[in-house]
Amino acid sequence: MTAEREKLVLIGNGMAGVGTIEQILKLGGAYDITVFGSEPHPNYNRIMLSYVLEGSKTIEDIILNDHQWYEDNHITLHTGTTVIRIDENNRQVVTDTGLSVHYDKAIIATGSNSFILPVPGSTKEGVVGFRDIADCDAMLAAAKQYRTAAVIGGGLLGLEAAKGLVNLGMDVTVVHLLEDLMERQLDRTASSMLQAELARQGVKFAMGKQTAELTGEERVTGLRFSDGSELPAEFVVMAVGIKPNVQLAKDSGITVNRGIVVNDYLQTSMADVYSVGECTEHRGTCYGLVAPLFEQGMVLAKHLSGVPTPGYEGSVVATKLKISGVDVFSAGEFTETAEHTVISAKDEWKRTYKKILLKNNIIVGAVLFGDVTESASLQKLVKQATEMTDEIYGEVMGTGCCGGGGAKKGLSVEAMADEEIVCGCNGVTKKAIVDAVTENGFTTVDEIKACTGATRSCGGCKPVVEQILQFVLGDSFQQSAKQGICSCTPLSRDEIVAEITAKGLRTTKEVMHVLDWKQPEGCSKCRPAVNYYLGIIYPETHEDEKESRFVNERMSANIQKDGTYTVVPRMYGGVTTPEDLKRIADVSLKYDVKVVKVTGGQRLDLIGVKKEDVPKVWEELDMPSGYAYAKSLRTVKTCVGSQFCRFGTQDSMEMGAQLERKYERLDMPAKFKMAVNGCPRNCAESCTKDIGIVGNDGGWEVFIGGNGGIKPRIADAFCKVRTDEELVEVCSAVMQYYRETGNYLERTSEWVERMGLEHIQSVILGSDDNRKELAARIDFALAQVSDPWKKMLDDNSTRTALFEQTRV
Amino acid sequence: MELSSREYAVGAADDFMLQIGRVVNAGEVELAIFRTSDGAFYAVENHSPHPKGGPLAEGIVSGYYLYDPLHDWKIDLRTGEVQAPDRGQATVHPVTVDGGVVKVSLPEAVARL
Ligand SMILES: Cc1cc2nc3c(=O)[nH]c(=O)nc-3n(C[C@H](O)[C@H](O)[C@H](O)COP(=O)(O)OP(=O)(O)OC[C@H]3O[C@@H](n4cnc5c(N)ncnc54)[C@H](O)[C@@H]3O)c2cc1C
Ligand code: SF4
Ligand code: FES
């Protein structure tokens, strides 16, 4: 028989209380646990009610611990049950349903209630707070039935409620007593920028208005303000503040000020009764955000589990508004007084604002608007009361060099204590994240999110989680966090390619089976990659697997967000003819193409073709596919060149067309772009192309590894050649070497940096034999390709299966 | 409320390629029908549960999972459940294969919508 365990009773089934219990379970605290909650639901993430309202989450989505969790952990849960008294003498909690339960230790975590303005009419139908699922349901229901709403209160909650109701189609006015929104977190400048942004998103404002009365009979019809003016509203949300829910503590004789008074170990005035969360007052402060609650819960959990811990010393709070497209952040002190030194930068064009407050050169607060990338570092600096230095200044005000900034950030993560909470919303410590990464080999924030819950709620901690990830995956951690091409396998690209060759594996299925993939048929990342590697290794025999191709490649057209497709015919070197243009125009008219667009690569996009029309459009265009969807040669951009240009020394149009004809259709690790210029004026912009070619008096100059996309990079000068034949041979060799050594989806810009420019030069320019062999291999592979549009038109059953839509 | 369902014959089993989705309109519902590598059939409404929507039929199929073609969400074809870290639910309907004919049964209410 096991010894009788102590009885722990939690009153309040919310974020702070259950967070504490979770920590106690982790620490192995030996208690028999009973939980009481007034709401009929298991523990959910209150923060995310804003997302439920906005429509991006459902109530189901925000449940943190379902009934099964309580069962699995042998916790007795009483939902829909309110505790009305703690009986100190008999050590019992008493509920409104007539239960009495013995406790050895009790935790009060009753949270807060919405503060309802004590004005006439505030109890009318159609007036709600914004606190729990019931309020949220009421708002969702109101939006179906009514048009106009008023939200009283321009703080975090009020604004999120207002945006949610706007999304639900209501006409919403935010009524605010003061002239500044979120005046408790933002200074005047940030606040007016915020108001302007929200106004653009459709929220109306009535600022500086004091509500005197809610009008209407049974149901509310509007607001009357103290200045006599009125605002009609069929629905009213009160979001003017919260008040700690201390009724139970008061009724039980526990010392209460604004909140339930506790010491640094969260002890109340009653023996063995503790309190955490919004109902608590610590050193004179009641908190209304989750991060402090988790910090309190952590201390309490340790205390109750017999793990030594320093006491709780209060929290620095930081706020982030959860409205898409509106980035606001504030931490610590934000209103400037004579004591403060203020560093600020406002950019009205980019609509960003940044302010840092110093007191005796110590960083004590910060406000960011529009661009919150620095929020994580600033929050730390404020939290640790860091002294301002030239270095920090350079880093956070953006005048330092970017390289230095990055290194610094890594360091600050390194200096962070293991137990420090990174994700305040979900109470996830640095250590939990580091462990998740090292033990499971995670490499993405999403994986960390799925495992630890960090970043799951407001998302404010994402930058720090990313920094920790970077820090852990840095060189010294490389071995413990071995990372394959995706989560299906620990093998790297090179290992997979080596195994395929050594074992003679022929299909993706075989590869995944023999190499012991975690998911037998792979995922959307590795299937296309393995299919590509097989194609490179067996250019002649590998049968391309349509089912392993991303939709665009499978359909040979680009899918758009509405499910229609874009069709792009080839235009070699960006040159077309009046006859072709006429055909394109005719087909576009016939099939009701929505937009004809000239692309950056000098050709025409026919946007908005219906799926079932795609084959007919090809057939009638009767032009080769432009491969705008493919990981292969997209375009060869050309300038006018010697044919017409007064500066041109080389025939760029002709050379561009020749190269495009030669290399079209061939699979590459990623999309591939080229440019050819007739002279060094470089009108076709070869510096941002995978291969850029510039003509000069004595021949051509070749550049490689340029990119104008997500990670722009200027191409490196690769070599100079004299003749057209040499040019083609160099291009062939570079492209084939990239095909053979590139990681799937790796652009040449990354490839050149990974392999090193000198290395590639030595392989291709250092040995004539090498270069010729590479060129021969690409020619062999090129001999195997054919136009997919033609092929598809000849293959009835595939075409029907892919494009036709049956009606039954 | 009485919930009856109606069966729609959506095609011959051979019309469906392995691991490649196909769109069928049944009544007013647009379905994406999938045939997994073990030959089993699944029917999902051709609308991604991602807030931005979009079709599902063109996704990559792996085992019983579908990768949403536009957003790369991973969806269980058997239950419609979106896999972590994303959350959501695609609408799935039961499929039977009867003498080489693939049939999807849709609730009447949906079918008549
Ligand atoms: C819409 C919304 C958005 C928010 N957004 C953010 C945000 O972005 N960031 C942030 O940090 N914070 C945010 N918050 C605040 C955050 O949700 C709270 O700080 C946090 O939930 C408080 O936790 P708690 O456990 O103290 O109280 P709660 O989570 O409110 O839990 C208290 C629970 O106790 C129950 N209870 C009360 N009295 C009794 C009793 N006598 N017997 C039994 N049960 C009882 C209540 O029913 C309630 O379920 C938001 C809050 C809301 C409402
Ligand atoms: S790059 Fe030189 S040849 Fe080509 S268009 Fe410009 S100036 Fe003329
Ligand atoms: S701090 Fe809000 S999700 Fe992590």
Strand partners, A674: A636, A691
A526 is in an annotated binding site: no
Neighbours of A461 (CB within 10 A): 28
CB of residue A641 inside a 6 A radius of ligand 2? yes
DSSP class of residue A27? H
Which residues, listed in sequence order, are joined to residue A360 by a DSSP beta bridge?
A: none
Residue A790 has a pLDDT of 84
Residues of B in contact with A563 (CB under 8 A): 54-55
**Dihedral sign computed on CA atoms, order A130, A134, A140, A145:** negative
From A683, A696, A703, give the residue whose CB has the most ligand 2 atoms within 8 Å, as the site to mutate.
Answer: A683
Which one, of A551, A612, A639, lies nearest residue A799 by Cα?
A612
In angstroms, the CA A522 to CA A485 distance is 11
Q: Do A808 and B58 touch (CB under 8 A)?
A: no
Task: Set out the domains of chain A in order of their start, with CATH numbers.
Answer: 7-111+245-305 (3.50.50.60), 114-243 (3.50.50.60), 325-398 (3.30.390.30), 415-476 (1.10.10.1100), 493-549 (no CATH), 632-786 (3.30.413.10)
What are the Cα distances from residue A336, in Å, to A156, A187, A360, A362, B43?
21, 8, 13, 14, 61
A735 vs A259: CA distance, rounded Å = 69
What's the whole-model pTM score?
Answer: 0.54
Task: State which fold the B5-110 domain adopts.
Answer: Rieske Iron-sulfur Protein (2.102.10)
Q: Which residues of A touch B (CB under 8 A)?
A: 55-57, 61, 446-447, 449-450, 456, 509, 519-524, 527-528, 546-551, 554-555, 559, 561-563, 611, 798, 800-802, 805-808
Q: Which residues of B touch A (CB under 8 A)?
A: 8-11, 15-20, 22-26, 37, 51-52, 54-55, 58-63, 65, 67, 69-70, 72, 74, 84-85, 87-88
Which residues of chain A are under the pLDDT cut of 50?
1, 399-411, 476-481
A13 lines ligand 3 (CB under 6 A): no
Q: What pLDDT digit, counting tens, does each position of A632-674 carry?
A: 999 999 999 999 999 999 999 999 999 999 999 999 999 999 9
Q: What is the position in ligand 3's atom list of the atom closest to the CA of A454?
A: 4
What residues of chain A lie within 8 A of the CB of B54, using their CB?
561-563
Is A683 among the annotated ligand-binding positions?
A: yes
Test A806 with B10 for CB contact under 8 angstroms: yes
Crossing angle of the two packed helices A652-663 and A768-782, in degrees rounded to 10: 70
d(CA A302, CA A440): 26
Tally Cβ neighbours within 10 Å of residue A348: 8
Question: Any bridge partners for residue A320, and if so which?
Answer: A329
Q: Which residues of B touch A611 (CB under 8 A)?
A: 23
- Alpha-carbon distance of A192 to A199, in angstroms, equals 10
Those residues with Cβ within 8 angstroms of residue B71's Cβ, 6 or more apart along the chain or in another chain? B48, B50, B52, B54
Beta carbon of A320 within 6 Å of any ligand 3 atom:
no
Q: What is the dihedral of CA A583, A584, A585, A588, to 10 degrees?
A: 120
**What does the pLDDT read at residue A336?**
73
| Contact yes or no for A524 and B15 at CB 8 A | no
| Record: contact A555-B58, CB cut-off 8 A | yes
* Angle (deg, nearest 10), helices A757-765 and A768-782: 90
Residue A420's contacts (CB-CB under 8 Å, 6 or more residues apart) are A429, A430
A559 and B58 within 8 Å at the Cβ level: the answer is yes
Question: How would you classify the pairing of strands A230-232 and A100-102?
Answer: unpaired
Ligand 3 probe mutation, A329, A451, A458, most atoms within 8 A of CB: A458
d(CA A56, CA A46): 15
Pick from A674, A726, A662, A659: nearest CA to A699: A726
Taking CA atoms, B35 is separated from A169, A420, A507, in Å, by 40, 49, 19
Q: Which chain B residue shows the shortest CA-CA distance from A61?
A: B87
Residue ranges lining ligand 1, Cβ < 6 Å: A 11-17, 36-39, 46-47, 49-50, 82-83, 109-111, 130-131, 157, 245, 248, 277-278, 288-291, 293, 322, 458
Is any atom of ligand 3 closer than 6 Å to the C-beta of A392? Answer: no
Which chain A residue shows the shortest CA-CA distance from B64?
A: A521
A645 is in an annotated binding site: yes
Rounded distance between C-alpha atoms, residue A100 and residue A93, angstroms: 6
Pocket perturbation via mutation, ligand 3, pick of A295, A316, A372, A461 by most ligand atoms within 8 A of CB: A461
Buried b (16+ CB within 10 A) or exposed e, B3-39: eeeeebebbeeebbbebbbbbbebbebbbbbbbbeee
3-state secondary structure of A41: coil
Q: Which atom of ligand 1 is nearest to the CA of A290?
A: 11
User: Cβ–Cβ contacts within 10 Å for residue A271, how many?
Assistant: 9
Chain B residues touching A167 at Cβ < 8 A: none
DSSP assigned state of A24: H
Q: How far apart are CA A319 and CA A330, in angstroms?
A: 5
Task: Say yes or no for a CB contact (<8 Å) between B20 and A523.
Answer: no
* CA–CA dist A36, A93 (Å, integer): 10
Instruction: Domain ranges for chain B, please list them.
Output: 5-110
Give the mutation target among A602, A637, A639 for probing the ligand 2 site: most ligand atoms within 8 A of CB.
Answer: A639
Search chain A and give the residue with CA nearest B49.
A56
- Contact A801/B15, CB-based, under 8 Å? yes
CA distances from A18 to A101, A134, A250 (A): 18, 20, 22
Residue A804: per-residue pLDDT = 83
Task: Pick the ligand that lies closest to the CA of residue A653.
Answer: 2
- Quote the pLDDT of residue A2: 52
Structure-block tokens of residue A491:
């093998």
Q: Which residues of A96-131 are buried (b: 16+ CB within 10 A; e: fewer)?
A: eeeeebebebbbbbbbbbbebbebebbebebbbbbb
Counting atoms of ligand 3 from 1, which one is nearest the CA of A423?
4
Element of type H or E holding A418 = none
From the list A547, A559, A561, the residue facing B61 with the nearest CB is A547
Q: Write out the DSSP string of A127-186.
A: EE-SSSHHHHHHHHHHHHH-SEEEEE--SHHHHHHHHHHHHTT-EEEEEESSSSTTTTT-
User: DSSP string covering A493-517, please?
Assistant: HHHHHHHHHHHT--SHHHHHHHTT-
Report, as ranges of residue numbers, the positions in chain B whose pLDDT lies below 50: 1-2, 113
Helices (H), A339-461: 375-383, 390-396, 402-415, 430-440, 445-452
Task: Compute CA distances B13 → A572, A796, B44, whole Å.
Answer: 42, 17, 16
Residue A57: list chain B partners with CB under 8 A: 87
Per the annotation, does A719 bind a ligand?
Answer: no
Query: Do residues B67 and B73 lie in contact, with contact meaning Cβ atoms separated by under 8 Å?
Result: yes
